Structure 1
Amino acid sequence: MFFEWQANQAVTLRCVGKYAETHDAVSIRLSELSESLLFQFKPGQFINLGVEIAGKMEFRAYSISSAVEDEHLQLTIKRVAGGKVSNYIIDSLLPGDTVQALPPAGDFNCIDHPPQTINGHAKALLISAGCGVTPVFSMAAYWLNNRDNVDIAFLHIARSPEETIYFDQLETLDAIYPNFRLELLLKNNHGTSHPQGRLNADWITQLVPDFKERTIYLCGPNQFMLDTQQYLKQLDFDMNQFYQESFTPAPREDVQLSDENTMVAVPDFSQSIQARKGQVLADVLEGAGLPVIVACRSGICGSCKCKVRAGSVSSTSQETLTPEEIEQGYVLACSSTIQSDLDVQIG
């Protein structure tokens, strides 16, 4: 039987396992509360995970690293400076604890964007760094488990073997699957036969000479992804066969806070909130203690969708909204700045 997600409503899951991957990263496994059910998602997608910290439910987006139709969801979480939720999970979440989770989401996946087939063969290049390995690891597991016969080149960049998430699993896949080739580029390669260096265009051509024949999926820290994208363009890669994940907010270089005051009315909660023109709508709603879920803060998860019934906002992302929703006035609060007095409906 399959686990049933509840539209855009949070469900309660239980942590049934917690494992150290590196000194600063753990994997947690989440299952249904009462029975063993299989989880469906598109490999590469993420969930918005909610944990209660100091009496407040805090949501953040984490990529799923488990295989499709496992009896659990696995998330791998790395410690980050100032990371309220990530660090809480690493330090305090225990097996047996419950969490909240929104349904899997995200356009970065290998179902909606399968690798192109050339002369009857599908070839993929997965490029990752740090915790960016999680969604592409799930993609590789999907292709290998479903015997799709996808030729997989897995290029991962890390500091050292000890700081490489899934180091043993990746080497095992490389050893047993003829259609999986691991290329691990390390800053410090002590004790391994993997090369040492920093990723650049030359390393891509050296490690994956046939990269132009592959569909590329990229995930990692923002600057790493920007640099990698530039290397691929320099190498004349067909960017129509390029996909990347990013939870980084779109820049708002053209938006400045104004001295002009506005009012944000939320009639369903009997609230009228004073704000300034140019403020991010999500910040205003959160500041008033309203139950808006803001997880990725980049307009790609859709958790903060709300309806502007009157007034205007300026939006930098509508990625998860349908044309019908946009027509009806729905916006993503994390990616929308206030331009006038508003009447808002949450959810």
Structure 2
Amino acid sequence: MYAWSESDSISLVCLKKWYETEDTVSFELGSVPQDLKFNFKPGQFITLGLHMPEKLDYRAYSISSRPDENRLKLTVKRVEGGLVSNFIIDELDEGDEVSVLKPAGGFNCIDCLPSNTNKVTLVSAGCGITPVMAMAKYWLASDSKIEIDFIHMARDKRQTIYFEELNQLNEEFDNFHLKLLLKDNQDTAFPQGRLDKNWLVTLSPDILDRTVYLCGPIGFMHDIESYLKELEFNMSNFYQESFTPAESLSCDIENNEEQATEQNAASGSVNVFVPAFGVELEAEQGSPLIDSLEKGGVPVIAACRSGICGSCKCKVTKGSVTSTSTETLTDEEIEQGYVLACSSTINADVEVSLN
């Protein structure tokens, strides 16, 4: 039986948890008994509902296991001030239950198929490795014969997530080529440096003939995209994840609620009214809409907090907001006034509906 066949949300148990590196843990979720299988597109994420000390909180995490197994594997890195990620590392125990929403995300190797050459280059840094790892394991398990150059950048060998697993894949499969680049490398078995245009060509010499999948910190992804354009790469064969917080190398797709958010200069107060829940409160002009909804106790899920997952979709029936993301919204929904609360700042008095 497949999960989420009857509901968008299910309850799963933490079956196993272990450290990948000194500040990164992996854990597996499944049913008890383990009669559920998980069908998703490699590269997608799931949203977890966690009972935090003060409230039920939601965050989205990329899946690093492959589909059709009876366990989901996730990896989380400790982040300074990251309440949810650090709660998982410090407090989540084997046997604990979590609420899990069905998989989502357009960055996957089913919707984003490789070009006709059947050669791919997966590029990642830090915890950006999680979705591309799922892609690689899927292709290898399905005996697709897709040739994989797996370029990953990390600080050193000890800080390389899935280090042993990557080496095992490299030894086991002739069509998997691990290209590990380390910044602070003392091991002559691996090259040392920072990933730039020259390194891309060195590590994947025929990269111009391949399909590239990219995930990592925002600055890293911007750099790699610019290098590919300088190389005159065919960008129709380029796919990248569009979340991942800058610099933090977090394995979740949240833009941490503790991370500073650039806001428009506040020029006064505005009113936020949610009639269906009897909520009316005052907020600063230019502040994120999601902050007001959460402050008012409106039951809105803000899983990614970066305008990707679409879980905080709501409708502005009066007033106006400025949105930086319309991911997952259709043209019709946008025309009707739907917005993503996490990526919308309040311009004037607004009335909001969750329907």
Deviation at 1:145, TM superposition (A): 1.0
Residues 192 and 172 (structure 1), Cα distance of their counterparts in 2 relative to 1, 3 Å cut: farther
What is the distance in 2 between the residues matched to 1:253 and 1:71? 41
1:146 corresponds in structure 2 to 142
Measure, in 1, the Cα distance between the counterparts of 2:32 and 2:275: 35
- TM-superposed deviation, 1:125: 0.4
Partner of 1:188: 184
Secondary structure at the counterpart of residue 317 of structure 1: coil
Task: Give the direction of change, closer, same or farther, for the CA distance of 1:231–1:17 in structure 2 (3 Å limit).
Answer: same
Shift of 1:252: 8.8
Structure 1 alignment gaps of length 5 or more: none
* 8 Å CA contact 2:3, 2:10 repeated in 1: no
Report the RMSD for the aligned CA atoms in angstroms: 1.9
Question: In the comparison of the two structures, how many residue pairs are matched?
Answer: 341
Equivalent residue number for residue 22 of structure 1: 21
Amino acid in the other structure paired with 2:264: V
Relative to structure 1, the CA distance from residue 264 to residue 254 in structure 2 (aligned partners, 3 Å threshold; closer, same or farther) is closer
**AA at the equivalent of 1:189:** N
Q: Deviations over 1:139-170 (max 9, x none)?
A: 00111111222111100011111111111111
Alignment of 1:19-98 (within 5 A): 19-98=18-97
Letter of the 1:256 partner, please give it: A
Identity %: 53
Distance 2:21 2:354 in 1: 39
Q: C-alpha distance in 2, partners of 1:255/1:5?
A: 42
Provide Cα deviations, 1:162-195, integer angstroms capped at 9, x if missing partner. Answer: 1111111111111111111110111233345121
Q: Measure, in 1, the Cα distance between the counterparts of 2:229 and 2:262.
A: 25
Q: Work out whether 1:3 is the aligned partner of 2:6.
A: no
**SS of 2:171 mapped into structure 1:** helix
Structure 2 unmatched ranges of 5 or more: 246-254
Q: Is 2:263–2:286's contact at 8 Å kept on the other side of the alignment? A: no
- 1:129 is aligned to 125
Contact 2:150 2:178 in 1 (8 A): yes
TM-score when normalising by structure 1: 0.93
Distance 1:326 1:129, change over 3 A: same
Q: Distance in 1 between matches of 2:29 and 2:198?
A: 41
The separation in 2 between residues aligned to 1:3 and 1:157, in whole angstroms, is 34
CA–CA separation in structure 1 for the residues paired with 2:218 and 2:49: 23
Cα distance in 2 for partners of 1:329, 1:227 equals: 35
The one-letter code of the counterpart of 2:29 is L
Q: What residue in structure 2 maps to residue 258 of structure 1? A: 267
TM-score (norm 2): 0.91
Q: Does 1:341 align with 2:340?
A: no
Per-residue displacement from partner, 1:255-293 (whole Å, max 9, x unpaired)?
33221x322211121111222332211011112222211
Question: 1:6, 1:103 within 8 Å by CA — same for their partners in 2?
Answer: no
CA distance in 1, matches of 2:198, 2:327: 34
Distance in 2, matches of 1:19 and 1:151, equals 31
**Distance of aligned partners of 1:192 and 1:96 in 2 relative to their CA distance in 1, 3 Å threshold:** farther
